[in-house]
Chain A
Amino acid sequence: MTATAETTDTTKAIGRPIRRKEDERLLHGRTNWTDNIQLPGTIHMATLRSPMAHAKITNIDISAAVASEGVLHVYIGADFPDLPGTTCVWPVTDDIVMSHMPAICTDEVRYVGDVVAIVLATDQNLAVDALQLIDIDYEPLGAVVDMEEALKPGSPLVHESAGTNLCYTAKMPCGDYEAAKAKADVVVSRRFINQRLIPNTMEPRSVVAAPMGMSDEITIWTSTQIPHVLRVLLALLTGIPENHIRVVAPDVGGGFGAKLQINREEVLALVLAKKLGRPIKWTEARSEHFVSTHHGRDQIQDIEIAATKDGTVLGMKVDLLADMGAYLQIITPGTPLLGMFMYSGIYKMEALDFTCTGVYTTKTPTDAYRGAGRPESTYAIERIMDELAAELGMEPMELRKKNWIKHDEFPYTQIAGLTYDTGNYEAATERAMEMFGYEALRVEQEARRAAGDPVQLGIGISTFTEMCGLAPSRTLGALKYVAGGWEHCTVRALPTGKIELITGTSPHGQGHETAWSQIASDIIGVPVEDIEVVHGDTGRSPYGMDTYGSRSLAVGGQAIKLAGERLVEKARIIAAHQLEVSPDDVEFSAGTYSVKGDPEKSTTIQAVAFEAFTAHNLPDGVEPTLSGEATVDPLDFSYPHGTHLAAMEVDTETGKVTLRKYVCVDDCGVQINPMIVEGQVHGGVAQGIAQAMYEGAVYDAEGNLLTASLAEYLLPSAADLPSFDTDRTVTPSTTHPLGTKGIGEAGAIASTPAIINGVIDAIRHLGVNNIDMPASPMTVWRAIQAAKSGGN
């Protein structure tokens, strides 16, 4: 069932667009970023990074740095010869070529930004000053920048001992593509470049590690999305017992996947805090961030689609080259494969032939970035659908309608084997087209073409779905991922009637404190403001799998519901005892337990919490204290979807692209807090537009990052974007007990192909059928010039 309006039941917290609890603290600067943490006796760490993409270290002279003011220690690779700087938990194939990223390079550097030495000083400025006094001799080994060159015989090898730059080849043949192609009237192939992106969070990475004195515990505060996973990995990498490590993610200023990582600076801070017995602090500069925090995307996509002349899609062939960068980090090889199952998008087809080849290059490692694999797959399918429509002479929306899964065909098992539980592509599309004024814009487009207007208009379509809620642990295991995907929640009713909700998710801007309170409020019947959400601290929330892949609500939300229900059930037993009736005769509603048929006889959950605390009069066999605990491992993913439409203007004289209007109708199922959903949509859409129009890492042939600051690497600001017109349809998920899906990445997944389809739609009549991202003015102008002169 799909509803188009936001339903607001005033007796419920779920569904209300209440303001985020977090915001007052954030807006007043009362935040606790890692870099704000000031501990007595702190030693400041600074990192010296390789200026060479690939070289042998032939000599290091640290004497001047050691003698520099305030410097306590200078360490090089030889000081920690066996200490790894990261680890990869997703060896995607049996014959994958793994890599070893040392905490500090010993004899070879493999990308500009690789760590070659660290300085510890009494002051951050003095530590940075001393970096310039370290003298290192390098012998160049040859940069490997281009993936296709990297695979050619004779290319310099990123990892000499591997004997190849080929990291892995993953194949997933679904159906018989060659048979499908043989039946096709039309086969369209394109090469798409899903360019390398550099995630930029407002807060750069930062870490403080400190021995706590009263025990063997070392607390590590770090700007991370994954405190729980990180604790396990830090223990495994350093040999420090896991029960001696407490990881805290304080206020974290954005992540987008860039903080889903185990970083060498975290490893070093932890090891040095233990070794020296003092707090160690490190915070990256923005320019350091550009080369050292993992990058995203970076795929060459060779896409082929086969269809009959009436527009029925038969099959699709996907051949990817995916740039790993110099080393495999936490899920580097798995990131492109997170999109593997999604290349067919919302469409029915009989074959999907998928191959992905991971390639090592001498560049910053890649890893998850908002959407991780699904933006790439969505871009490929939505772009190739437009190309197929053009080839067939069909209206691109009509082609989509012809091939998408109809609302009455759910649940639908698509070609890659996923079962989409629910969806209503018709409803979202109809609403989006109405808001967009689709037909009127088509008329305007025709008029501008006929008039030869220097500014042409295009309509970009993206009808997408994605896969949320990295969860089913068995599925992850089958994909060779070495961790599970469950999530935990404990709801504790405190003696004073206040609630502590302890979650294993780890927000970094998503508003979990508010949304989780809303869920718990409805289940246990206490006001939202009486619920405190505890997160991001392995000392206070011991179980969790953290926040990434739009999993927090999709997985963590289920744990909240179950934990809350268990608390309510335990309290029912105590309440029944107090009311001197059987638990079966007690009704629970809005925080009150009352006797069936005698509602005057009642007690509240707060009163029960106090009884559970004093334990003066509990029923036999009932333990004191009142809490509910749940660890949930869902059986399936969830599949939000939506229709995004972009009106693009292209100035054919200059190539400048302007986004005139953007409409998106998303379906993320039941919305816990529509205001938070709205925020996630806006941010995601902007980030996807940024990939289409502005962002893109550029390296020179020597492996130097040319876009190494915000002056060269362009991020749009509010001044560059129009006001987005958004709405939602609500088709509840049936795999999730709350009916929710996920919304954190949808905008970034959907918007990129909408923009590029719109740009090409504006100038296709001039002979342009592809634009590599970002659609910069020069790129677009050159494409128009090339088309005019007969090539493209």
Chain B
Amino acid sequence: MIPASFDYVKATSVDGAVAALVKGGEDAKVLGGGQSLLPVLRLRLNAPSVLIDVSEVGEMRSVTDDGDSILIGASVTTYEVMHNELVKEHAGLLSLTAGVVADPAIRHKGTFGGSVAHADPAGDLPTVAAALDCEMVIAGPNGRRTVAAKDFFVDYFTTALAADEVLVAVRVPKLGAGWSYNYQKFNRTAQAWAIVGVAAAVKSENGTITEARVALTNMGATPIRATGVEAALAGASSSEAIAAAASKAADGTSPTSDLHADGEYRKHLAQVLTRRAVQAASGI
């Protein structure tokens, strides 16, 4: 279909984008790669009065090493995340997962920040942001602030971003030595959204898991950390122990039901995929 008409502002700086947002008021929307927003507009599910394009704001286009973390500009594309050497070295889980997002055309247009800010619970990258305890760097009319992933994702398609704020970058803590990782994406066609996804990062010593991070895609309104699994994995050194820990993956979740999967099936999948992700990550 054809979107309703809207004004378009091409931002050249973060401050400019924020100013345009303030000026645009409630009906203004930030446009990144457009891979989620444009379909919404074409279906006329939303009709913003103005789109503020941040896809070429210089500050938001780079990946930089910042000591204990790397800083990924919000307008860095999924394809760039997938292939960036800093990301590969310090946040391999993120580059691995970027490679299973949609298809090459979408990965070339869609941005990391756009995916995170869109906060679709079926999105793969928000889950990784949750698993890696990322921090969101946000700019607004009153300056900048930082919000932890656990506080950033609020509800379906809802984040801590205010209407006049822009996600500038995502700070990804470096995992350090001894960590390995895996992402299990379960979908029906290669390009489709995850029915359920599981991101796992584990730290092992001598065949025993010492620390684990497990986050779930599409198991609720936001990315969910499977804290019960994480706790149970500490000290695990056998496939049985991993399976036992994984059986807690759906605890406390209330996943949605749709055409491809109902809630009960999603809960089942979360357990199977968690087991597989941890086994693949740990090699146990």
**Residues of A with Cβ closer than 8 Å to B?**
124-125, 128-129, 132, 285-288, 653-654, 656, 694, 698, 706-707, 709, 711-712, 714-717, 719-720, 776-778, 781-782
Contact = CB atoms under 8 A, between A and B. Distances in A.
Contacts of A287: 1, 43
Interface stretch (B155-163, B222-230, B262-270): B262-270
B259 A720 contact: no
Contacts of A717: 103, 189-191
B265 A781 contact: yes
Contacts of A285: 1-2
A507 to B, nearest CB: 29
Contact of A714 (B5, B192, B268): B192
Interface of B is mostly: loop
A714 B188 contact: yes
Contacts of B262: 778
A680 B262 CA distance: 37
A746 to B, nearest CB: 24
B272 A654 contact: yes
Nearest to B265: A778
Given A698-B259, A778-B261, A781-B265, A288 B1 contact: yes
Nearest to A284: B1
5 contacts: A132-B44, A653-B272, A711-B192, A712-B259, A777-B188
Contacts of B191: 717, 719
B1 A128 contact: yes
User: Lowest 6 A-B CB distances belong to which pairs?
Assistant: A719-B190, A285-B1, A128-B2, A778-B265, A653-B272, A720-B189
Nearest to A785: B268
Nearest to A651: B272
B186 interface: yes
Given A711-B39, A711-B193, 13 more contacts: A129-B4, A129-B5, A285-B1, A654-B269, A694-B189, A707-B259, A711-B192, A714-B188, A715-B189, A717-B190, A719-B189, A719-B190, A777-B186
B203 to A, nearest CB: 27
B188 A776 contact: yes
A125 B2 contact: yes
A291 B108 CA distance: 31
A653 B261 CA distance: 15
Contact of A656 (B44, B186, B190, B193): B186
Contacts of A714: 188-189, 192
B5 A125 contact: yes
A694 B272 contact: no
Contacts of B261: 777-778
Interface of B: 1-2, 4-5, 39, 43-44, 103, 186, 188-193, 195, 259-262, 265, 268-269, 272-273
Contacts of A124: 2
Nearest to B266: A778
B247 to A, nearest CB: 13
Contacts of A698: 259
A709 B195 CA distance: 17
A68 to B, nearest CB: 12
A132 B5 CA distance: 13
Contact of A778 (B1, B4, B193, B260): B260
Contacts of A653: 272
Contacts of B193: 711
B158 to A, nearest CB: 20
Nearest to B186: A654
Contacts of A132: 4, 44
A125 B2 CA distance: 7
B259 A781 contact: no
Contacts of A716: 189
B43 to A, nearest CB: 6
B188 A694 contact: yes
A715 B191 CA distance: 10
A707 B258 CA distance: 11
A285 B188 CA distance: 25
Contacts of B43: 287, 709
Contact of A720 (B44, B190, B268): B190
A129 B1 CA distance: 11
Nearest to B1: A285
A781 B186 CA distance: 14
A115 to B, nearest CB: 16
Contacts of B195: 777
Contacts of B39: 711
Contacts of B269: 654
Contacts of B186: 654, 656, 777
B96 to A, nearest CB: 17
A185 to B, nearest CB: 40
A35 to B, nearest CB: 13
A694 B189 CA distance: 8
Contacts of A654: 186, 269, 272-273
A717 B191 CA distance: 8
Contacts of A706: 259
Contacts of B103: 717, 719
Contacts of B259: 698, 706-707, 712
B120 to A, nearest CB: 11
A549 B139 CA distance: 61
A715 B268 CA distance: 25
A694 B192 CA distance: 12
A672 to B, nearest CB: 34
Contacts of B2: 124-125, 128, 285
B233 to A, nearest CB: 20
Contacts of A782: 265
B161 to A, nearest CB: 24
Contacts of B273: 654
A52 to B, nearest CB: 18
A781 B268 contact: yes
A132 B4 CA distance: 10
Nearest to B268: A781
Contacts of A694: 188-189
Contacts of A711: 39, 192-193
B264 to A, nearest CB: 9
A267 B192 CA distance: 37
A707 B259 CA distance: 8
Nearest to B104: A719
Contacts of A656: 186
B194 to A, nearest CB: 12
A654 B195 CA distance: 12
Contacts of A129: 4-5
B186 to A, nearest CB: 7
Contacts of B188: 694, 714, 776-777
B70 to A, nearest CB: 30
B19 to A, nearest CB: 29
B4 to A, nearest CB: 7
Contacts of B1: 128, 285-288
Nearest to B276: A653
A778 to B, nearest CB: 5
A714 B5 CA distance: 30
A5 B191 CA distance: 38
Nearest to A288: B1
Contacts of B44: 132
Nearest to A709: B43
Greatest chain B CB density within 10 A among A125, A128, A132, A654 is at: A654
A717 B44 CA distance: 27
Contacts of A125: 2, 5
A775 to B, nearest CB: 10
A792 to B, nearest CB: 17
Contacts of A128: 1-2
Nearest to B273: A654
A720 B188 CA distance: 9
A777 B103 CA distance: 21
B7 to A, nearest CB: 15
Greatest chain A CB density within 10 A among B103, B189, B262, B273 is at: B189
